[in-house]
Amino acid sequence: MYRSWLAVALADANEPEQAAEEARRVIGTSRDLASERAAERARTVLQRLKEYEDAPEAREVLASYGHLSLA
């Protein structure tokens, strides 16, 4: 959960590359957990990254995991 807050904070600080890196970690961890709370945080991080679709790192994460934001 900590990493999800960090990813959002990095996005808020206009650091999309680092936010995308943390997003990958969040998603990787949340996929291994049977927790709706963790899944919701992963969706929140993905939603926040959408603002940075022009950054290659964020675009890559969204292309790979964007479908999870619809779940």
Give domain limits for the chain.
2-70
Please name the amino acid found at residue 60: E
The conformation of residue 23, written as its DSSP 8-state character, comes to H
Residues 26, 22, 48, 5, CA torsion sign? positive
Which candidate, 5, 24, 29, 33, places its Cα nearest to that of 64?
24
Per-residue pLDDT reduced to its tens digit, 12-57: 999 999 999 999 988 887 776 677 888 888 889 999 999 999 999 9
pTM: 0.82
